[in-house]
Each structure stands twice: as C-alpha cells, then as structure tokens.
Amino acid sequence: MRATVRDPRKPTGLDHLHALAEQHPGRLTLHAADLLDRGSFAEAMTGCELVIHTASPFLMGRLSDPREQLIRPALEGTRNVVNSVDATDSVRRVVLTSSVAAIHGDNVDMRGKECFTDADWNTTSTDTHQEYSYSKTVAEKEAWKLHDAQDRWDLVTVHPGLVFGPSLTTSSASGSMTMIGHFADGSMTFGAPALEMGVVDVRDAARTHIAAGFTPAAHGRYIATSGTVSLLDMGRFLAGASGKRRAFPTRELPKALVKIGAPAAGMTRKFVDRNVGWPLRFDNSRTRRELGIDFIAPEKSIVDHFQQMIDDGLAS
C-alpha cells in the first residue's frame, strides 16, 4: 500500500503513519505529493490497480479566502489525481471521497422529500454560500466528467457525513475536531442551535472506502452515514457517558436568537435560515446492502471521539 503526504520527512504529524509502516514491514510506504502539483502523484500510482483519493480540506467557520482554502484544492486536486490515473495504465478503479455535502447544500433542500438518496445532487451551494459543500460538489462532478471521457477505469464515490470517532493522530485540524471541540470550550453552555447533521464513524468511513475499492460490482455513489443527530442529541450522548457538564447543552436555542448571534459564531444568517430547525435524513440502504457496512451507532462514535480528546489532553 502506498500513501501520499506533502513531505514524508516532516518531523511531526506523521508519527502514526511511520508507526504503521514499522509495524507492517513492506506493507506501507509514504510518497511525496501535493494536490496542486500536477503530476506529483505519478510515482505513487505506478503499478497500482486501485487509487483512493481522500484528501480535500474540510474547514469550518469564517474563512479568509474560501476559493484558495477549499474550492481550488478540491477541484484542481481531483483533476490532478485523475489526470495521473489517466496516465497510469495499471489503474482499473478510482474511489473518490465525496461527501453528503455533494448530495445536498442546506437542510431546507430536503423540503418535499422523505430523505436524500444517492441520486440527489447539491444544487444550492455556491462559492459564497456553503463553500465547503460547493467545493465537494464541483470536485465530484469533475471526477465524473473525466471518468466519462474514457473507458479503462471505473469510478466509485463515497459520501460520508460528518466523521467522528477515534483518530490515529492529534495533528488533525478538520471540521470534525472543531465541531466536537464546541462541547468542551463552553460555547454551547446556554444551549445549542436546532441543527441536525448526518454523521458516520471514522472506522465505518474507512470500511466503506475499502469495500468500494474491492467489491467488483460496486458502482456509482454510496452514502456513508450512520444516522442523523442534532447538536442537542450530541450533548445528551456525552452527558450520558461522562456526566453532566456546564459545557454540554441541555436545550435548543430559539432560532431568532441563533440568527442574531450568527456572525459572532462564524455562521451567516442565510445559513441559519436554511439549516437551523430543518430536519435532515439520508438513505444509506444501498451502502449497507451492496457493500455490507453495518454502521456503528452515532452515540458510540461521538462518545469515543470525545473520550479520545480527553485522553489526549485536548478536552477536560
């Protein structure tokens, strides 16, 4: 197995990968590559039949330059990876980490539906609204466009919800870490917005990618969510596992109050209008049936994630 990182010689942040390589001699090697460096994936791909493209920035809150921080790395990165696939005759399948964010843009988009399915596409996000969702949507569309232009390799996309669960590293700066951190920093002491989100355990996200890569009949788009939870649900899960704390929300805030305070919390009022108070559901039945994924319950994922933050000294 080959993994790509920007700099395999980086002194910190890759300890978990080097440890895996040492524990499994000859099974894992690290190769230098950068999403925005065209052709940098060629060496790592040489001789491979399966390519799993997972890297794309996931940042939450107000960003200084969403196009450079999110959209360009997602779109050009996908284009560069797939161009290297086209140039590597041995590759037969590409598994792309997309997101439920490419299925829908805002919770209100489910209005009139029972749930979102793998046939749905995000049509409401833009480069100025839900920029992360927009980045995942344009990147996936580009991958399908490039796939359709050839007939040597096939494409399977995996669509995780917000990923929780134990991590192999403390170096992550992902949106998942930001989200769970709000249950430790006191920002929801007085209550939580009535916001629902699809979630998945990191272990199931990994299993889904592996199954998508090694199941010959796998095709199309697979939703990887274990369920939908609200911020209040998450607070209750944590309180049930570790006892009540002031930082764990016990009620939902009125939407009008959330809207007033949105800018200070890094949200736009448009986001509040289109997401807070709106239900959200996903149909993961094809993933369970065709890929054999028996999803870990959201409660366990969230509790395990928070417990690891405590163990690592990132929460108390």
Please state which of the ranges 50-64, 178-192, 300-314 shows the lowest mean pLDDT.
Answer: 50-64
Per the structure, the complete domain to which residue 223 belongs is given by 33-311
SS3 content of the chain, % helix, strand, coil (to 5): 40, 15, 45
23's CB contacts (< 8 A; 6+ apart) are: none
Whether 238 has a pLDDT exceeding 90, the answer reads yes
For 69-113, how does the pLDDT look when each residue is reduced to its tens digit (9 = 90+)? Answer: 899 999 999 999 999 999 999 999 999 999 999 999 999 999 999
Assigned domain for 247 exists: yes
Assigned domain for 164 exists: yes
Assigned domain for 144 exists: yes
289's CB contacts (< 8 A; 6+ apart) are: none
Structural domain count of the chain: 1
- For residue 214, the tally of other CB atoms under 10 A from its CB is 12
Contact present, 15 and 169 (Cβ < 8 Å): yes
Amino acid type, 267: M
Whether 171 has a pLDDT exceeding 80, the answer reads no
The C-alpha atoms of residue 271 and residue 275 are separated, in whole angstroms, by 6
Q: Which pLDDT belongs to residue 82?
A: 96
Whether 265 has a pLDDT exceeding 70, the answer reads yes
Q: Which pLDDT belongs to residue 78?
A: 96
The C-alpha atoms of residue 26 and residue 89 are separated, in whole angstroms, by 23
| Mean pLDDT value across the chain | 92
* Of 140, 29, 12, residue with least CA distance to 81: 140
- Distances in Å between the Cα of 177 and the Cα atoms of 24, 191, 282, 285, 314 are 28, 20, 23, 28, 10
Q: What percent of the chain stands above pLDDT 90? A: 70
Per-residue pLDDT, averaged over 254-262, amounts to: 95
Contact present, 32 and 7 (Cβ < 8 Å): yes
For 208-234, how does the pLDDT look when each residue is reduced to its tens digit (9 = 90+)? Answer: 999 999 999 999 999 999 999 999 999
Q: Which pLDDT belongs to residue 59?
A: 67
Please state which of the ranges 25-34, 107-116, 120-129 shows the lowest mean pLDDT.
Answer: 25-34
Per-residue pLDDT, averaged over 180-189, amounts to: 85
- The DSSP H or E segment spanning 94 is strand 93-97
Assigned domain for 27 exists: no
Contact present, 32 and 6 (Cβ < 8 Å): yes
Assigned domain for 273 exists: yes
Q: Which pLDDT belongs to residue 246?
A: 80
Q: Which residue has the higher pLDDT, 147 or 28?
A: 147
Whether 173 has a pLDDT exceeding 80, the answer reads no
Whether 58 has a pLDDT exceeding 80, the answer reads no
| pTM for the full predicted model | 0.94
Assigned domain for 104 exists: yes
Q: DSSP string covering 182-221, please?
A: TTTSSTTTT-B---EEEEEEHHHHHHHHHHHHH-TT--EE
Whether 20 has a pLDDT exceeding 90, the answer reads no
- Predicted confidence band of residue 239 (pLDDT cuts 50, 70, 90): very high
Assigned domain for 12 exists: no
- Which residue matches tokens 């440890």? 19
The C-alpha atoms of residue 1 and residue 48 are separated, in whole angstroms, by 9
Whether 52 has a pLDDT exceeding 80, the answer reads yes
Assigned domain for 287 exists: yes
242's CB contacts (< 8 A; 6+ apart) are: 303, 306, 307, 310
Q: Which pLDDT belongs to residue 168?
A: 79
Whether 176 has a pLDDT exceeding 80, the answer reads no
The C-alpha atoms of residue 274 and residue 105 are separated, in whole angstroms, by 9
The CATH number of whichever domain residue 277 belongs to comes to 3.40.50.720
Whether 55 has a pLDDT exceeding 80, the answer reads no
